[in-house]
Structures are given as C-alpha cells and as structure tokens.
Structure 1
Amino acid sequence: MVRFLKITAAIVILLLIGYFCFFKYRQMQANNVFIPASTNALLKINVDELYKTIAISYVKHPNQYSGADKKGFKEKIDDLNIGIKIPANIYVYGLKGKAKTSFFSSFEIADSLAFNRFIQKKSFLPLIKKDARFYQSADSTLSILFNKTTVALAYTPQKEQVKAVLAEILSRKNMVKIGESSFKDLLNLSDHVSFQNSENFCKINFTDGKIDLSNEFISKLIEPASKPQHRVLNPASTVSLWLNGKFKTKLPQKSGAKSLSPFSKENFLKFYNGYMDFEWINTIEQVDTVVGYDYNEDFERVEKKILQRRKIPEISMILSANDTAASNYLKSAGLLDPSTGKISSSLIPLYQVYFKGSKGSIQLSTLKSTNLEAKKIASNDFFYFKVDFKKLIKQTPLSIISANLNVFSQLEMKAKSLEKDKIKLESELLFLNQDANSLVQLLKTFKNGTKNPLNFCFNSSIDISVKR
C-alpha cells in the first residue's frame, strides 16, 4: 500500500512538473514575438492563465457548467476550428498614424486546409475576396491578409486602408521584439488581460464571481485634492459617490449665448469648489400636482388638478460651492422658488428637487427637509463610487436595467493620486453567482442578450381630483 502511494505521488509530481514546463514553454514562445516598431498601444490576452483559472473553476464547481459548457476554455477555442494556432499570449496592437480604434494582430497558421475553409465560410463571418490572399468583411471593418504560414488581421471601424500595413506585418518589416520595446513590462504579467499605451497601464482579471480591474493613467481632467476628505455616506445606499478634486477644464473665454442651467459646464465650474458627493439612499413617495381639463354638467371646459403619488429615488447631492452666488443665480433665472426651496421642473423635470445652501455648500435633495452629516473624514482615495445592483433593480422600474444588470451584485470603484497628474483607479465588479467564472458568465450574458424592451413608465397612482 505504501509503495502504491509513493508511486502515485511520484506520478502526480511528474505530471505537475510536466504541466508547469509545458505552460512555461508556451509562455516563452508567446513572448518571443515581434510587433511593429510603430506600435503605440498593446493589448495582451493571457490565454493560458485564463484557461488555468477557468479549469480550476470547473474542478471546484462542476455543477455550474452544465451541458456544452463543461468544455474547457482551450477546447472551446479549438472548436472554432479556423486553422490558426492559439498562442499562450495573444497580442493586439495599435499603430502610429492609424486611428486609436484601429487594431492589428497576427497568428501562425496551424492547418492551412481548415483555415481556407474558414476564409471561404459564409455563415459565421462572411468575408469577401478582394485580392490574392486578401479578404475583407462586407462593411470593410475587418481585413485579413495571409501567406502560407501566417495570417495578419486588422479591425478598423474607420475603414482605413490597411493592406500595406498587413503586408509589412507578414514580412516582418520594421518589427521589434516585445522584450526590446517600450512594452516589455507586459511580458511577465500573469494578469488575464493587460493593456498599455502612453497614458494607461491597465490590468483585468476574471475569477469566480468577480472581475478586478486596475488602471494607472495620466489625468487630463481631474486634479485630486492633496489631502482627500469625504463625508461618511450611508453604507446601505443604492448608489453612493464622492469626488474630492478640481476639474482642470478651463472656463470658455469667448463671449456668447450662455446656458441658464447650473449644470452646464460654464456654471458648474463657476460654482464648484472641489468637493461633491451623491447618495441614492432609498425609495420615497412623492406627490405631484398634475393640471388637466374636464367638462362640467353644463359642458363647460374646466381646469382640474390631480394629485399623483409615485415612488421616486431618495437622492441627496452635496457640493462645496459659493451657496449665496448659486442661490442668487437660480432665483434671478426663475429656477428656484425662495419660499419652498423647490427647483423649477423646467430645470429638473423628473422629480421635485429642493435646494438648500449654507456655509459654503449646496444641497440638492428629493426630500424637502433633510439634514445630512457635514463632518468629513480623511481618506487615501479622492474618488469613490459604489452601486448595489440588487437594490437598483428593485427600486428602478426600468426593464432595461433589470434585463442587463440582473447578473451583477455590486460595482465598487476608487481612485487615488500616485504622483503629479498620475492616478490609479481600482474597481471590483461582483456577480450574484459567486461560483462560476466571471468571464464565462459575462460571455453567456452577451450571448443571451436582452429580450425586454425599454419601459419608461414609472409606477404611480392617482388619488384625488380637485375641480376649479
């Protein structure tokens, strides 16, 4: 028995070593690739790491992958049977002189017969032959050029001329090894997806029930506070957000027609003093007066007021601002009723919103009277955003919300300043199903699509009619 266990253990160890060496070899081969010297953006998809992560999820939660979904990630790729070799890492790059939305890549042809069948296939991806070994989609956004060993492809929504670029990729003209380029930091990353250009360094990982994203980027819009602070928001809120930073955007210098809305770019930047927060706390009932017309017993047309009750979000928003100047501006524009504090419905038509200003801050709320905690606490983050999708779906009578977001549980994002003009954003998207891999769930959601049409009807009930 002991001998049998030793033999079994030795076999398992050898298998693990072989498994490790196999994937290590694939990584080395995948990283020993060339990209155009003019590359200015590079996307890396770590196929092997994705495969390993999803395979482990299959082993841990086999009941989550029923029917055809029991196939592994690699097998699903192989099932495409398009005749190309899927490397350990797929690299997709953008090029100088081309649109930012245009991307290129290349693959080794593993089976020329299967590849030719794919090129000539009319059902899955119709391609039109434009020239010898050069094909394009019907809308010219996808282009494919190939020789006996390699295929180069381009996706360009702008329908740019890319055949010459694809020919250079195939001939390895003006190419450089990734390890000798400015993108060498991507080589040893084990993240599932990574992206780098002159302004961004982004990483994404798909685990069971969660998508993690991290992005370091150069900020052109926000100047974070040097010592961020924020109010303590209600942890049970449906949606919560704070921002402690100034906008770099300058006020327009040219004179001309100015917007009356305080939410316009010009007026917002004029009043905003570096801090804002927002909370969707719950759902409340609001009563609106709707004016209509009816006919009395003498067949005379008379005005009729109807009190309409409806469920609306309990929303509060606070901004650090010159409250006196903002209040005077709204009053002079006829957008604020001084006696009630109500914002004009011509400015905010969906809900009754009330304005309150004091001590250098502005409060907008769907509650007529509310006192929010003004005290702030220190934080490493200058930005925070959270949405509870379960509460959002429950409190929002829009079918498009429930149809597209019902697989998610929560989204949380936060950002902090690393150095001058450089920001790190981290986000975590949680799924309701914590056992199945998030990428598999995401692909299944996109595959199923949405069947529910848009429905903008808010729940309401008419209570009282008053004739005048």
Structure 2
Amino acid sequence: MKKFLIITAAIVILLLLSYFCFFKYREIQANNISIPVSTNALLKINVDELYKTIAVSYIKHPNQYSGADKKGIKEKVNDLNTGLKIPASIYLYSLKGKVKTTFFSTFEIADTLAFHLFIQKKSFLPLIKKDSNFFQSKDSTFFILFNKTTVAFAYTPKKEQVKTTLVEILNPKNMIKVGDSRFNELVNLSDHISFQNTENFSKINFTDGKINFSNEFINQLIEPAAKPQHRVLNPESTVSMWLNAKFKSDSLKKNQTGSSALFSKNNFFRFYKDYLDFEWTNTITQVDTVVGYEYNDDFERVEKKILQDRKIPYISMNVAANDREVSDYLKSLGALDQSTGKISSAIIPLYQVYFKGNNGNVLLSTVKSAKPDLKRALSNDFFYFKVDFKKLIKQTPMPVIADKLGTFSQLEIKAKGIGKDKVKLESELSFLNKDANALIQLLKTFRNGLNNTLNFNFSVGSPASK
C-alpha cells in the first residue's frame, strides 16, 4: 500500500511539473513576440490564465456550464477550428499616425487548409475577398492579410485605410521585442487583460461572480483632497456617491458656458467648493398636482386640480457651497418658493425638489423634511460610487433596465490619488450568480445582442502540420 501511494504521488508530481512546464513554455513563446517600434498602446489578453481560471471554475461548479443548448464535443471542436495557433497571450497594438481605436495583431497559421476554410465559410464575421490574400468585412472595419505562415489583422471602427500597414507588419522592419519595449511591465502580468499607453495602465480579471478592474491614469482635470473626507452614507442605499476634490482652474475655463440652468457647468463650478455627495436611499410616495379641465353646469370649461400619488426615488444631494449665493441665485430666477423651499420644475423637472442651505452646505432633496448630517469620516479615497442593481430594478419598474441589468448584483468604484497628477481607480462588478465565471456570464448576457458567435480556436495543443 505504501509503495502504491509513493508511485501515485510521484505521478501526480510529474503531471503537475509537466503542466507547469507546458504553460511556462507557452508563456515564454508568447512574450517573445516583436511589435513595431511605433507602437503607442498595447493590449494583452492572457489566454492561458483565462483557461486556468475557467477550468478551475468548471471543476468547482460543473452544473453552471451545462444546458439544453450544449453542443457535442466534436461539433464544438469543428466550430472553433480557425487554423490559427493561439498563443498563451495575445497582443494587440495601436500605432503612431493611426487612429487610437485602430488595433493590429498577428497570428501564426497552424493549419493552412482549416484557415482557408474558416475565412471563406466559417468566419464569425463575413469577409469579402479583395485580393488573393487580402480580405475585409462588409462594413470595412475588420481586415486580414496573410502569407504562408502568418496572418496580420486590423480592427478599425473609423474605417481607416490599413492595408499598407498590414503589409509592413507581415514584412517586419523596425520591430522590437515586447520585453525590451516600454511596455515590458505587461510581459510578466498574470492578469486576464491588461492595457498600457502613455496615460493609462489598466488590468481586468474575471473570477467567479466578479469582474475586477483597475486603472492608473494621468489626471489633468481634478485635484484630489490631500486628506479625503466624506459624509457617512447609508450602506443600504440604492445608489451612493461622493467626491472630495477641486477642479483645476484650466478645466474651469474650458468648461465655462453661458447657461443659466442651476446644474450647468458654469454654475456648478461657480458654486461648488470641493465636495459633493449623492444618495438614493429608497422609494417614497410624492403627491403631484395634475391640472385638468371639465365643463360646469353652464357648459363653461373650467380648470380642475387633482392630487395624484406617484412613486419616486428618495434622493438627496449635498454640495459644499455658499448656500446664501445659491439661494439668491435661485430667487433671482424666480425659481425658489421661499415659504416651502420648493425649486421650480422649470429648473429641475420630473420630481419635486426642495432646497435647504446652512453652514456652507446646500441640500437638494425630493423629501421636504430632509435634514443633512454634516459630520464627515476620513477615507483613503477621494471618489466613491456604488449602485445596487437588485434595488435599482425593484425601485425602477422598467423592463429595459431589468433586461439589461438583471444579471448583475452590484457595482462599486473607488478612486484615490497616488502621486502628482495621477489617480488609481478600482472597481468591482458583482453578478447575482456567484458560482459561474464572470466572463462566461457576460458573454451569455449579451449574446442575444450579437449577430453571430465568436468562433476563435482556443486549442492549446500542438499545432497541426501545414
């Protein structure tokens, strides 16, 4: 028995070592690619890490990945056979002199016959043959050019001319290895998707029931508070947000407008004093006056006012501002009922909104009796936003919202300053289903809005001979 256990353990260790070496070899190969020296943005899709994450999820929750529409293995393999060798990581890059949204990449051809069959008949995006080895989509946004060993492709939403660039990519000159370029930080990242350009460094990961996103970026618009503070908002709110930062003077000049509306950019920057928060706690009943007409006994048309109950959000917005200036401004417009604090519907339509000002704070609320608690708590974040989709759907009975957001549970976003003119933003999107991988759920959620299925070959085995 002891000998059997030793042999079993040795086999398991050897399998794990083989597994590690196999994926490590693929990783080294993928990260050894070259990109044009004119690359100004690079997107990395870590295919193998996605495989591993989804495989573990499948082992843990196999019932999440079965269904009546499940195809047989043979049919799936046939559908996914593009004839391309999919590396451990896919790199897509944009180039200087091209539109920022135009991206290029290359793939090795593993099976010439399968590849030709794919582009002619099985492509997820119908292609039009322009030359013997040059194809484009009907909407002129996707292009491929290939030789005997390699395929170069371009995706350009702006329908930019890219054939010359694709020729240059297939006949590589002025290239540099990714590890030797200014994008070398991306090479060793295990994140599922990562992106870098001169202003941004982003990462996305798909785990069971969650999508995590982070972005470090250059910020020219606002100056975060040195020691951020915020009002303690209700953790059970449907939507909550705070911002503790000042807008830089240059951005104020650029955004000035001549509008007299209370929430125009000009007036917002005029009154705003480095802090605001917003909270939607629940749903309340608001009584509206509806004006109608009827005929009296003398057949004269007379006005009749009817009180009507309406379900609306309980919304409160606090802004650090000179409350006397805001009050005087609203009075000058004839938009403030001084006896009730009600703001004219011409200024804020849809809901009855009430104004209260005290101690350098302005409170706007759909509840007349609302009173702000101005006590603040310290935070590492100068910005925070959260939305509870379950409550949002319940409190906003609109089929469109339920259809698009019914899969999600909560979105939470935080931002903090990490240096001069630099901000780090982190967000987490949670799904109601906490067991299935978030990427799979996302694809299922939006597949009805896609015209076709994406049929990429994600085989990681040895490529077939040409």
Shorter-chain TM-score bucket reads: over 0.9
Residue identity matched to 1:324: R
Partner of 1:197: 197
What is the SS of the residue equivalent to 1:5?
A: helix
Partner of 1:244: 244
Partner of 2:457: none
> Does 1:235 find its partner at 2:235?
yes
Partner of 1:83: 83
Partner of 1:466: none
Residue identity matched to 2:336: L
Provide the aligned length of Structure 1 versus Structure 2: 448
Alpha carbon RMSD of aligned pairs, Å?
A: 2.1
Cα deviation digits, residues 5-56 of structure 1 (max 9, x gap): 2211111111110000000000000001011111111000000000000000
Alignment of 1:147-296 (within 5 A): 147-248=147-248, 249-252=250-253, 258-296=258-296
Give the superposition deviation at 1:297.
Answer: 3.4
Partner of 2:454: none
What is the SS of the residue equivalent to 1:336?
A: coil
Residue identity matched to 1:163: K
What is the SS of the residue equivalent to 2:273?
A: strand
Give the superposition deviation at 1:253.
Answer: 8.0
Partner of 2:346: 346
Distance 2:255 2:207 in 1: 51
Alignment of 1:314-333 (within 5 A): 314-333=314-333
Give the superposition deviation at 1:252.
Answer: 4.1
Contact 2:221-2:251 within 8 A present in 1 as well: no
Partner of 1:55: 55
Contact 1:168-1:174 within 8 A present in 2 as well: no
Partner of 1:135: 135
Give the superposition deviation at 1:76.
Answer: 6.4
Distance 2:367 2:116 in 1: 66
Aligned CA distance change for structure 1 residues 68 and 143 (closer, same or farther; 3 Å): farther
Partner of 2:456: none
Alignment of 1:25-40 (within 5 A): 25-40=25-40
Distance 2:409 2:77 in 1: 29
> Does 1:417 find its partner at 2:410?
no
Partner of 1:114: 114
Give the superposition deviation at 1:71.
Answer: 8.9
Residue identity matched to 1:278: F
Partner of 1:465: none
What is the SS of the residue equivalent to 1:288?
A: strand
Residue identity matched to 2:3: R
Residue identity matched to 2:301: R
> Does 1:432 find its partner at 2:432?
yes
Aligned CA distance change for structure 1 residues 122 and 82 (closer, same or farther; 3 Å): closer
Distance 2:435 2:252 in 1: 50
Give the superposition deviation at 1:265.
Answer: 0.8
Cα deviation digits, residues 212-253 of structure 1 (max 9, x gap): 111111112221011111111111111110000012254448
What is the SS of the residue equivalent to 2:85?
A: coil
Give the superposition deviation at 1:79.
Answer: 3.8
Partner of 2:359: 359
- Consecutive unaligned residues in structure 2, runs of 5 or more: 451-466
What is the SS of the residue equivalent to 1:160?
A: coil
What is the SS of the residue equivalent to 1:273?
A: coil
Distance 1:418 1:367 in 2: 38
Residue identity matched to 1:42: L
Contact 1:62-1:70 within 8 A present in 2 as well: no
Contact 2:255-2:265 within 8 A present in 1 as well: no
Contact 1:58-1:70 within 8 A present in 2 as well: no
Contact 2:32-2:178 within 8 A present in 1 as well: yes
When normalised by structure 1's length, the TM-score is 0.92
Distance 2:254 2:224 in 1: 24
Cα deviation digits, residues 158-178 of structure 1 (max 9, x gap): 111101111111111221100
Distance 1:406 1:254 in 2: 36
Alignment of 1:341-420 (within 5 A): 341-420=341-420
Contact 1:54-1:72 within 8 A present in 2 as well: no
Bigger relative contact order, structure 1 or 2, given CA contacts below 8 A and separation 6+? 2
Contact 1:280-1:316 within 8 A present in 2 as well: yes
Aligned CA distance change for structure 1 residues 69 and 380 (closer, same or farther; 3 Å): farther
Aligned CA distance change for structure 1 residues 301 and 77 (closer, same or farther; 3 Å): farther
Residue identity matched to 1:209: G
Contact 1:289-1:305 within 8 A present in 2 as well: yes
Partner of 1:464: none
Give the superposition deviation at 1:4.
Answer: 1.8
Identity, % of aligned positions: 72
Residue identity matched to 1:162: V
Residue identity matched to 1:361: N
Residue identity matched to 2:393: I
Partner of 1:303: 303
Distance 2:67 2:352 in 1: 51
Distance 1:14 1:410 in 2: 43
Partner of 2:462: none
Residue identity matched to 1:58: Y
Aligned CA distance change for structure 1 residues 293 and 87 (closer, same or farther; 3 Å): same
Contact 2:255-2:266 within 8 A present in 1 as well: no
Aligned CA distance change for structure 1 residues 59 and 68 (closer, same or farther; 3 Å): farther
Residue identity matched to 1:145: L
